[in-house]
Amino acid sequence: MAMYFVSIFVKPLQDNPLREKVDEARVFFWIVDESPENAMQRAKDYLIKYKWDVQSVEKSAFEVTAADFAGKEEAMLGFWKAKQKGFAAQFTARPKPESGNLSG
């Protein structure tokens, strides 16, 4: 078993409860699995389950170690959570622009 990292851009599907608030998001995954193909499928299954539409894959599953995240506190937290639980996901979302707010 190895640790894999994945980065995917997503948009909320019609029935996603965050659809009114989130325009798009980038999701980082740390996944312990037997192969990069399995890790990639688990990431996509997670996104389907939580009603996210894959827009593009920024980084397909590739093997990583803790050293790859040295100095990156948030990423290191995801890495260690996945080490303990087998899976971790971290979202960075861009909110929808405020409608009607034209002030600069």
| Average pLDDT, 10 consecutive residues per value, the chain (104 residues) | 98 95 96 98 97 97 97 96 98 80 42
As a whole number of angstroms, the distance between CA 1 and CA 17 comes to: 34
Exposure of 93 in the CB half-sphere (CA atoms within 13 A): 14
The pLDDT of residue 102 is: 42
The structure tokens listed for 76 are: 């290191």
Instruction: Give the pLDDT confidence score for residue 98 in this predicted structure.
Output: 72
3-state helix, strand, coil in the chain (%, to 5): 30, 40, 30
What pLDDT sits at residue 51? 97
What are the E-state strand segments in the chain?
Answer: 2-12, 22-33, 52-63, 87-95
